[in-house]
Structure 1
Amino acid sequence: VSNRNEIQALSNGNGIQALCNGNVIQALSNGNEIQALCNGNVIQALSNGNEIQTLCNGNEIQTLRHGNEIQALCNGNEIQALRNGNGIQTLCNGNEIQTLTHGNGIQALCNGNGVQALCNGNEIQALCNGNEIQTLVMGMGSRH
């Protein structure tokens, strides 16, 4: 799927692969898998165990909850409102994460990432090169 397609209301185990160039995805729930998103995609309202791999070049993800997994984010992606056990790995080059709650795991942040408002047992590992972390409360584990 490429070149500004819009996908709405996916539920119950759909697989989406190779999205590029300004796609909009809304209302994913219940075990969807998304791979290889690049170049300004927008993903909104993911819930209940979705898996997202290989996001690059300015993608935006909003309102992730209940055990979503995001791997290999690079080059200015934005993630907002993560809650309840999401896993994020390998963030690099200016990614921004806001409002993480309830046991999220973040690993391998480098090169100017911004993390704000972490609470309730979040874990941050391997921060390097000008990362900014604000408002850490309630049982943080931080390892360098």
Structure 2
Amino acid sequence: MVTTLIAVIGTLAGTGLAGLLQHRTARTTRDDSRRDAAVQAVAALAAALADHRRAMWVREDLRLTGASPEAYEAARTESHATRSAITAPLTTVSVLAPALAPAATAAAQAAYDLRAAADRTALTTDRDRAMAAADGLVAAAARRFGA
């Protein structure tokens, strides 16, 4: 009788431990997947921000140098496309890594702020600020997700 009782208790303890380990493994896997998705979103956002900065630089440089209306309009169309490309990764970063949302939003806003620069010096300053904001986002992500 005692042997049977010990066997039953051992079986129950083993089952409980196995269930606990399985739950912990599943949670770790979910956390790792979420982390990986957030890192990918930050990378996608950084790339989209770089594309938009470049497009805005070209657009505003054309405006400031008095380029043809056709050239400016083509650059404007491109900048609209690159701005739209920021939306999805910005949203993903904000959802998956809310702690990074302020840095992500600041980096996006800094890229948007290249619009309507008063002169080339202001455009360069705005671009440098946008690059610094994007670098700040990447640094914040590295601190949050780095090994």
- In the superposition, the TM-score normalised over structure 2's length comes to 0.21
Q: Which has the higher contact order (CA 8 A, sep 6+)?
A: 2
Structure ranking higher in helix proportion: 2
Determine which structure has more spread, i.e. the larger CA radius of gyration.
2
